[in-house]
Amino acid sequence: MANIPADLKYAKTHEWVRVSEDTATIGITDHAQHELTDVVFVELPKVGRQLKAGEACAVVESVKTASDIYSPVSGQVVEVNQAVVDNPALTNTEPYGGGWFFKVKLTQPAELNGLLAPAQYGAQIKDQ
């Protein structure tokens, strides 16, 4: 059973969002990293980039495949996690901790209402 923290919101494309005031921290879920297997490369968006919800903005490569990562919310990238670029395995070992990808300053906070609650995300991945 995948680890699905109750304090996060989830995108159907397997990204998670942790909101603190007007900033969202984004990463990929435990389920996603498990499906990818060993992550060997992470490319993140540049600080300052404006993202739209649903836009492909990062790439994760594993020993199996390369996958686009989509921003679940709109906003400006204010920070990227250099640690995960330097050590992509953090994506596998700490998907909700040290393996986060980037932070955005929210420009459309109402988009958070369109994301999945933990139980909804759990139901989505149960059938996969």
pLDDT at 2: 73
Task: Give the global pTM.
Answer: 0.96
Q: What 3-state class would DSSP assign to 9? A: strand
- Contact criterion met (CB below 8 Å) for 45 and 58: yes
In degrees, to the nearest 5, what angle opens at C-alpha 93 toward C-alphas 24 and 54? 35
CATH class of 9-109: mainly beta
Per-residue pLDDT tens over the stretch 51-79: 999 999 999 999 999 999 999 999 999 99
pLDDT at 1: 58
- The tokens describing 10, both together, are 């989830």
pLDDT at 127: 73
- Contact criterion met (CB below 8 Å) for 25 and 44: no
pLDDT over 90 percentage in the chain: 95
Give the dihedral sign, CA 92/95/97/103: positive
